[in-house]
A and B are shown apart, each in its own frame.
Chain A
């Protein structure tokens, strides 16, 4: 149990275009999902917290107009990278919070999406 999927697994796009990444919790409902970004040889950096039915909360320094997050259902969150540029090339990873108990929420991670902007 606790499987999280992402689609696509990798995407190549031209500079200036927008790219949408989907994150799904397959066997549980997640009121909260998270989006991370990871550059080569670096750790994961939290970008935003996505709550079902409400606006996402962005970490300091992350542009909310560039990284649009929608969490329309308890099993799906999407991240849209708008007007992508080469510096947005990265590994994007989502996670979903499994609500065992309020204090024990364990995050389960998707396999990641590798974005390359040419």
Chain B
């Protein structure tokens, strides 16, 4: 079963930052948080992952709270192509259990 909860949907204006929250209150100390996104009828695309420190790559930034019970994925300048379902995942053993994700719609 998924160890994360996310809001079902969000809207974001094109060019603005999209902040997607995720709760993972039962996360263990050595478990990573992963973010993926799925554009309609495609396989999920890896975005970023982290353990306790904030992470940034060319796609996004990941902010993890100090108690590690929640995190936020930030897309700094959302484009229409960022419209997708975003999944926050905490690995269980070596398996990923997907929750329902957040459907992000970027509005022109």
Q: Is the interface of B mostly helix, strand, loop or mixed?
A: loop
Q: Who on chain A is nearest to B97 by CB?
A: A46
Q: Is the CB of A46 within 8 A of B87?
A: no
Q: Is the CB of A97 within 8 A of B32?
A: no
Total A-B pairs in contact (CB under 8 Å)? Answer: 55
Q: Is the CB of A44 within 8 A of B98?
A: yes
Q: Is the CB of B32 within 8 A of A109?
A: no
Q: Is the CB of A93 within 8 A of B43?
A: yes
Q: Is the CB of A112 within 8 A of B96?
A: no
- When distances are taken between beta carbons in the complex, the residues of chain B under 8 Å from A109 are 36, 43-46
- Asked if A87 is an interface residue, CB under 8 A from chain B, the answer is no
What mask results when residues 57 to 96 of chain A are scored 1 for a CB within 8 Å of chain B, else 0? 0000000000000000000000000000000000101010
- When distances are taken between beta carbons in the complex, the residues of chain B under 8 Å from A108 are 46
Q: Is the CB of B96 within 8 A of A34?
A: yes
Q: Who on chain A is nearest to B42 by CB?
A: A111
Q: For chain B residues 92-108, which have a beta carbon within 8 Å of chain A? A: 94-101
- Asked if A54 is an interface residue, CB under 8 A from chain B, the answer is no
A interface residue numbers (CB < 8 A to B) = 2, 4, 6, 32, 34, 36, 43-46, 49, 91, 93, 95, 97, 103-112, 114
